[in-house]
């Protein structure tokens, strides 16, 4: 033993390699040889990749595998892997994979537990590595994560083969056990690294990048293991939020909601594994089922997950024809969650392209729903959004729907007549009456005014019910808006005057607060800039007031010109 240590330390590997041929040494090594794995690992860490010395170490390792008890070698290797940390993780895992595989294959009939243990040990080590995000990071592969993933596929292949070649799993308890272990491994790979990994194809790239290859392999494994993708998708997808313990994989928590979300993403967005997925599911059913997965993804804040969530939502919606998504999709619990998160991404996410994308996706959602669905969607969105811009956008959409109803479909009972009234009233209102912050809410108010103007001009026959509700609209919307405008204008006028005075007076006034954006401190506002801001607020009020005046004028004209009884009937 001491001898071995010494030789290793000195790098005298070749002498060692011939060691086991000696008779007495042979017995010694058979019994305590596994103790050498630690020193070998240390030695390998210290030498360069592909060097003579490293090769020597591997040869030594192989020699040990030949002569020692495989169970002890297995534990020895796993111990080394388990202790790996930081930059060393891949440095240890990569060279040990092949020896580990050989040992496991030598284990005979009861290897499933050991295979599972090995895979979970390796996976838990690997998941400490950061997942590359940009194409460049992936190419660089600083922590050799991509390399490890591909090597891991090679590693798992023979075990996958054992399962897929088995004829009757119910008779081979160990193989059935192995199948479960491998499934667990595949699902955990879906969660890490694939959930975070960029999986879009690179336009300029000919082939696939490593993580995409990895994704394909893993999906291939799932199929080879006899895991029915549609069954996993349907059963799990439906019970995802409740964490029910039912499903094709014998109930235990083999796959997390994140893995399933990733599975869905690979299937529907990247079309990986779609060949093993049936093409008979109804499109709205797919949307319903995917809502849960989208909710899981949008709940997170990482860019890669959010964009996956948006992509998945988009791609499931694209399969549905416009105006054909049934309203009952909204009754799926997670749909509500998805809408809220969508609005959240739209308004709060710091990443611009995601904000834009989420807005586009919202429009897609609106377009796909049937008329009743649209109606309920708008009501729901107005309740949950609490952001003037989004609300303005929805009100604009409401206007479009009313327009479509007036022009093409007078039988539309959702965007005309009595059903429309509550929606109209919630669109034409000020949340806090005259005290509403008009500047903050300007997007919404302008959209509301626009809607009202449109109704007054177009709807002569009171099909939308706007004339019957006029009194309430005036009371709840127009009047407080007038008051609000007067108050705000007076306030800002006064503010401008005082700023002017300040400007004439001292210039060295200390700013009350500082603003930082993106970590940079913005320069203090000069009185000129303050004036500009105040002025632009006044312009907004002007604009609002002029539209308001125009609307009221129109109402008056219409009321006068219309024959008594026509307006306010129906």
CB of 169 vs other proteins, minimal distance in Å: 14
Which token pair is 272?
Answer: 């990986």
324 or 569: whose CB is closer to other proteins? Answer: 324
d(CA 111, CA 106): 9
What is the CB neighbour count within 10 angstroms for residue 69?
A: 14
d(CA 263, CA 297): 12
Measuring CA to CA, which residue among 77, 104, 100, 207 is closest to residue 151? 100
**Among 271, 353, 491, 497, which residue sits at the site for other proteins (rule: CB under 8 A)?**
271
CB of 443 vs other proteins, minimal distance in Å: 19
Binding mask 164-193 toward other proteins (x if CB under 8 A, else -) reads ------------------------------
CB of 278 vs other proteins, minimal distance in Å: 6
324 or 440: whose CB is closer to other proteins? Answer: 324
161 binds other proteins (CB under 8 A): no
53 binds other proteins (CB under 8 A): no
CB-side exposure of 202: number of CA atoms within 13 Å?
17
Binding mask 235-264 toward other proteins (x if CB under 8 A, else -) reads -----------x------------------
Residues 214-233 interacting with other proteins (rule: CB under 8 A):
228, 230-231
Cβ density class 527-557: b for 16+ within 10 Å, e for less? beebbeebeebbebbeebeebbeebbeebee
5 binds other proteins (CB under 8 A): no
CB of 225 vs other proteins, minimal distance in Å: 12
101 or 429: whose CB is closer to other proteins? Answer: 429
Q: Cα 480 from chain centroid?
A: 42
Total of chain residues touching other proteins, rule CB under 8 A: 38
Which token pair is 233?
Answer: 């998708």
Residues 372-391 interacting with other proteins (rule: CB under 8 A):
376, 379-380, 383-384
274 binds other proteins (CB under 8 A): yes
Cβ 278 vs Cβ 227: under 8 Å = no
**Among 331, 435, 493, 553, which residue sits at the site for other proteins (rule: CB under 8 A)?**
331
**Among 9, 12, 278, 505, which residue sits at the site for other proteins (rule: CB under 8 A)?**
278
CB of 199 vs other proteins, minimal distance in Å: 15
Q: Which are the contacts of 428, defined by CB distance < 8 A and separation ≥ 6?
A: 448, 451, 452, 473, 476, 477
16 or 423: whose CB is closer to other proteins? Answer: 423
CB of 1 vs other proteins, minimal distance in Å: 41
- Is it true that the peptide bond before 193 is cis, omega within 30 degrees of 0? yes
Map 216-274 to HEC letters: HHHHHHHHHCCCCHHHHHHHHHHHHHHCCCCCCCCCCCCCCHHHHHHHHHHHHCCCCCH
510 binds other proteins (CB under 8 A): no
CB of 392 vs other proteins, minimal distance in Å: 18
What is the CB neighbour count within 10 angstroms for residue 141?
A: 16
Measuring CA to CA, which residue among 382, 480, 397, 374 is closest to residue 435? 480
Residues 18-37 interacting with other proteins (rule: CB under 8 A):
none
71 binds other proteins (CB under 8 A): no
Burial class (CB within 10 angstroms; exposed 0-12, middle 13-18, buried 19+) of 133: middle
336 binds other proteins (CB under 8 A): yes
CB of 245 vs other proteins, minimal distance in Å: 10
CA geometry: angle 455, 459, 463, nearest 5 deg: 110
Residues 281-320 interacting with other proteins (rule: CB under 8 A):
281-285, 315, 318-320
d(CA 367, CA 316): 13
Distance (Å) of CA 520 to CA 265, 348, 515: 37, 19, 9
Residues 426-465 interacting with other proteins (rule: CB under 8 A):
426, 431-432
**Among 169, 202, 234, 371, which residue sits at the site for other proteins (rule: CB under 8 A)?**
234
Cβ 152 vs Cβ 193: under 8 Å = no
CB of 235 vs other proteins, minimal distance in Å: 10
Q: Give me the residues that bind other proteins (CB under 8 A), please.
A: 228, 230-231, 234, 246, 271, 274, 276, 278-285, 315, 318-322, 324, 326, 328-329, 331-332, 336, 376, 379-380, 383-384, 422, 426, 431-432
């Amino acid at each position: 033993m001491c001898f071995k240590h010494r030789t290793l330390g000195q790098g005298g590997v070749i002498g060692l390699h011939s060691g086991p041929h000696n008779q007495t040494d042979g017995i010694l090594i058979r019994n305590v040889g596994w103790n050498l794995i630690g020193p070998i690992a240390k030695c390998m860490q210290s030498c360069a990749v592909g060097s003579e010395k490293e090769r020597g170490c591997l040869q030594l390792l192989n020699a040990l595998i030949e002569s020692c008890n495989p169970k002890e070698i297995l534990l020895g290797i796993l111990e080394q892997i388990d202790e790996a940390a930081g930059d060393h993780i891949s440095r240890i895992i990569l060279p040990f994979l092949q020896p580990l595989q050989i040992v496991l294959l030598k284990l005979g009939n009861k290897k499933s537990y050991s295979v599972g243990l090995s895979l979970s040990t390796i996976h838990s080590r690997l998941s400490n590595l950061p997942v590359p995000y940009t194409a460049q990071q992936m190419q660089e592969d600083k922590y050799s994560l991509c390399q490890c993933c591909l090597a891991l596929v090679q590693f798992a292949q023979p075990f996958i083969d054992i399962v897929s070649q088995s004829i009757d799993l119910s008779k081979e308890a160990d193989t059935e056990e192995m199948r479960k272990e491998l499934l667990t491994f595949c699902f955990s790979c879906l969660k890490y690294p694939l959930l975070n990994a960029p999986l879009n194809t690179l336009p300029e790239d000919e082939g696939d990048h490593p993580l995409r290859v990895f994704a394909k392999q893993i999906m291939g494994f799932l199929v080879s293991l006899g895991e029915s993708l549609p069954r996993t998708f349907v059963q799990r997808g439906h019970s995802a939020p409740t964490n029910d313990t039912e499903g094709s994989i014998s109930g235990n928590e083999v796959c997390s909601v994140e893995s399933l979300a990733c599975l869905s993403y690979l299937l529907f967005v990247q079309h990986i594994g779609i060949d093993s997925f049936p093409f008979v599911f109804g499109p709205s059913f797919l949307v319903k089922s995917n809502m849960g997965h989208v909710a899981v993804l949008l709940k997170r804040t990482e860019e890669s997950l959010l964009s996956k969530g948006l992509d998945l939502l988009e791609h499931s919606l694209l399969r549905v024809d416009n105006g054909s998504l049934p309203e009952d999709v909204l009754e799926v619990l997670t749909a509500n969650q998805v809408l809220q998160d969508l609005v959240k991404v739209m308004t709060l996410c710091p990443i611009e392209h995601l904000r834009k994308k989420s807005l586009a996706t919202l429009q897609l959602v609106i377009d796909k729903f049937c008329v009743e669905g649209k109606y309920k969607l708008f009501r729901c969105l107005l309740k949950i959004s609490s952001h003037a811009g989004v609300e303005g956008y929805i009100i604009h959409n409401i206007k479009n729907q009313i327009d479509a109803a007036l022009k093409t479909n007078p039988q539309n009972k959702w965007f005309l007549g009595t059903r429309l009234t509550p929606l109209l009233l919630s669109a034409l209102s000020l949340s806090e009456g005259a005290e509403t912050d008009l500047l903050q809410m300007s997007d919404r108010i302008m959209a509301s005014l626009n809607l009202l103007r449109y109704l007054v001009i177009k709807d002569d026959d009171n099909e939308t019910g706007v004339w019957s509700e006029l009194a309430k609209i005036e009371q709840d919307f127009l009047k407080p808006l007038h008051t609000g405008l007067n108050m705000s204008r007076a306030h800002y006028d006064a503010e401008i005057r005082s700023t002017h005075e300040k400007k004439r007076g001292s210039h060295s006034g200390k700013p009350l607060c500082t603003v930082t954006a993106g970590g940079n401190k913005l320069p203090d506002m000069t009185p000129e800039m303050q004036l500009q801001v105040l002025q632009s607020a006044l312009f907004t009020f002007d604009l609002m007031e002029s539209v308001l005046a125009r609307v009221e004028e129109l109402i008056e004209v219409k009321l006068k010109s219309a024959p008594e009884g026509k307006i306010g009937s129906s």
